[in-house]
Chain A
Amino acid sequence: MSEMNTASSLSSAKDNSPKDNSHWATAKKYWYLVTFIAPAALLATALLAAITGQGGWLWGFTAIFFVIIPIVDTIVGEDPYNPSKEEEVELSSNDNYYKNILYLATATQWAGLITMTYVVTQYSWAWYDILGAVLSVGALHAIGLTISHELGHKVRDKHQTLAAKICSACSGYAHFNIEHNKGHHKHVATPEDPASSRMGESLYKFALRELPGAAHRGWKLEADRLKRLNKSFFSKDNELLQTLAITFVAYGLMTAAFGWMALPFLLLTAAYGWFQLTMANYIEHYGLLRQKSEDGRYERCQPKHSWNNNFKATNLITLHLQRHSDHHAHPTRAYQILRDYPEAPQLPHGYPAMMALAMVPPLWRLVMDHRVVKWANGNMSLVNMDPASKNKLFNKYHNPQVATS
């Protein structure tokens, strides 16, 4: 870990208070295992459906994700702990333990998908039961892509890079890791980034821009890299094709084993899994904008350019993905040493609840628009806005008195 990336940011990260958090700091290492609740719950509900014949169980994980987890989040509250510099060294030296969690999570991700595919195809279910299964697997894909995201940032570690491909392949999201690292992180919180949502843009309008935009950018980035290497796009070194190959083989094997019905089910779950990731992208940078410097380059990404959430339960499940402000300011920091920034813009709830809110655009706007205005101190020219809503938003929210005070 470079010393240089901590000097400017640690000063503004929340002070750790060892006396208050010493027990939690020690126990937290094992509390990360909470992330396995997601695949375990999916497996349990799939098996319960098979044993009882009650199709309602196939909706189980969807309910857990969007209802139970937000309730637990509310009850448990925030995580007060930020590691000190000495603790960071200790946490980093234990890196193998934290990596093994990611590897095991990758395996359980596939176990969940295979089990649910088996249960859906080998028993008779009504269409609405199968819909529940699709949504439940899609929610698990969201957790899986969180795992893949963490692995994919470790570009110097061949094992983690391979695991990232295997994990992304579960939902067939071949371009995710390349596009996320080289595209989204480079251009985050700018109008040019298809994966940064704009104020006034609904989740559904964003999806129509983000899904094709991110796919195009991911494949192009890899094509450009291969071109620099004087290699064919169809070379075995194409990392996206490698991931896609894993998906084809795995989905093909499941179709061969479980019958033709497995394929449409797998494709539907993958498509909805992609949409779940779109939801995450939507809530992470809504309306936030980096300014251009005099030299025409965007200012560097700071904690204030990502919405942050410090709820304890969902941060354990998502391995600190919600400490997103620190992650975007310092993308190579491992999940166990990500910090909370109290001055970063805060989402009022964890990701599952905010995703549910995003699905109802008027409610999302009601909760989030005034937060964006507050973030910009009333100066709407500092906000990343949907061009179609720009005039309306300016007239409604721009407050020069606040902006110039």
Chain B
Amino acid sequence: MSKYQCPDCGYVYDETQGCEEEGYAPGTEWEDIPDDFPCPECFVRDKPDFVEINE
């Protein structure tokens, strides 16, 4: 399970947690998120802009 970060506001999409309020259940893998998925905090960056975080 990986994490991906919005390069503008710092929001982190964590695959283990998903993004429930936007309808992406915990465990939803990043590759299953649609390409036009906007950052659910700032909405000015989309999925292709996100950066994978290696912790």
Whole-angstrom distance between the Cβ of B12 and the nearest chain A Cβ? 10
Which A residues touch B44, using CB under 8 A?
A: 185-186, 300-301, 328-329, 331
Chain B 12-46, CB-CB to A under 8 Å as 1, else 0, gives 00000000011110000000000000101111111
Q: Which of B21, B24, B43 contacts A185 (CB 8 A)?
A: B43
Q: Which of A182, A227, A297 contacts B43 (CB 8 A)?
A: A182
* Cα separation A4 to B8 with both chains bound (whole Å): 6
Contact B48 A297 (CB under 8 A): yes
* Cα separation A5 to B43 with both chains bound (whole Å): 14
* Cα separation A332 to B38 with both chains bound (whole Å): 14
* Cα separation A63 to B44 with both chains bound (whole Å): 37
Contact B8 A330 (CB under 8 A): yes
Q: Which of B8, B22, B45 contacts A225 (CB 8 A)?
A: B22
The residue of chain B having its C-beta at the shortest distance from the C-beta of A188 within the complex is B44
Contact A186 B43 (CB under 8 A): yes
Contact A5 B9 (CB under 8 A): yes
The residue of chain B having its C-beta at the shortest distance from the C-beta of A229 within the complex is B23
Q: Does A23 contact B (CB under 8 A)?
A: no
Which B residues touch A3, using CB under 8 A?
A: 10
Contact A331 B43 (CB under 8 A): yes
Which A residues touch B40, using CB under 8 A?
A: 155
Contact B9 A297 (CB under 8 A): no
* Cα separation A219 to B16 with both chains bound (whole Å): 30
Contact A332 B22 (CB under 8 A): no
Contact B38 A228 (CB under 8 A): no
Q: Which of A1, A228, A331, A332 contacts B23 (CB 8 A)?
A: A228
Which A residues touch B41, using CB under 8 A?
A: 155-156, 332
Whole-angstrom distance between the Cβ of A138 and the nearest chain B Cβ? 28
How many residues on the A side are at the interface (Cβ–Cβ under 8 A)?
23
The residue of chain B having its C-beta at the shortest distance from the C-beta of A1 within the complex is B10
Q: Does A16 contact B (CB under 8 A)?
A: no
* Cα separation A126 to B21 with both chains bound (whole Å): 50
* Cα separation A276 to B43 with both chains bound (whole Å): 24
Which A residues touch B49, using CB under 8 A?
A: 300
Q: Does A2 contact B (CB under 8 A)?
A: yes
Contact B46 A297 (CB under 8 A): yes
* Cα separation A269 to B24 with both chains bound (whole Å): 39
Q: Which of A227, A228, A297, A330 contacts B42 (CB 8 A)?
A: A330
Contact B24 A5 (CB under 8 A): no
The residue of chain B having its C-beta at the shortest distance from the C-beta of A184 within the complex is B43
Which A residues touch B23, using CB under 8 A?
A: 225, 227-229
Interface centre among B21, B23, B44, by most chain A C-beta atoms within 10 angstroms, is: B44
Chain A 287-312, CB-CB to B under 8 Å as 1, else 0, gives 00000000001001100000000000
Whole-angstrom distance between the Cβ of B32 and the nearest chain A Cβ? 12
Contact A300 B38 (CB under 8 A): no
The residue of chain B having its C-beta at the shortest distance from the C-beta of A328 within the complex is B44
Contact B38 A182 (CB under 8 A): yes
Which B residues touch A155, using CB under 8 A?
A: 40-41
Q: Which of A2, A185, A301 contacts B10 (CB 8 A)?
A: A2
Whole-angstrom distance between the Cβ of B5 and the nearest chain A Cβ? 8
Q: Does A21 contact B (CB under 8 A)?
A: no
Contact B9 A330 (CB under 8 A): yes
The residue of chain A having its C-beta at the shortest distance from the C-beta of B49 within the complex is A300
* Cα separation A228 to B40 with both chains bound (whole Å): 14
- Partner-A contacts on B (CB < 8 A): 7-10, 21-24, 38, 40-46, 48-49
Would you mind naming 29 contact pairs between A and B with Cβ atoms under 8 Å apart? A2-B9, A2-B10, A3-B10, A4-B8, A4-B10, A5-B9, A155-B41, A156-B41, A182-B38, A182-B43, A185-B42, A185-B43, A185-B44, A186-B43, A186-B44, A225-B22, A227-B23, A228-B23, A300-B45, A300-B49, A301-B44, A328-B44, A330-B8, A330-B9, A331-B9, A331-B44, A332-B8, A332-B9, A332-B41
- Partner-B contacts on A (CB < 8 A): 1-5, 155-156, 181-182, 185-186, 225, 227-229, 297, 300-301, 328-332
Q: Nearest 10 A-B pairs (CB), nearest first?
A: A228-B23, A2-B10, A332-B9, A229-B23, A185-B43, A331-B42, A332-B42, A5-B8, A186-B43, A181-B43
Known: A2-B9, A186-B44, A301-B44. 16 other contacts (CB 8 A): A2-B10, A5-B7, A5-B8, A155-B40, A156-B41, A182-B38, A185-B42, A185-B44, A186-B38, A225-B22, A227-B23, A228-B23, A300-B8, A331-B9, A331-B44, A332-B41
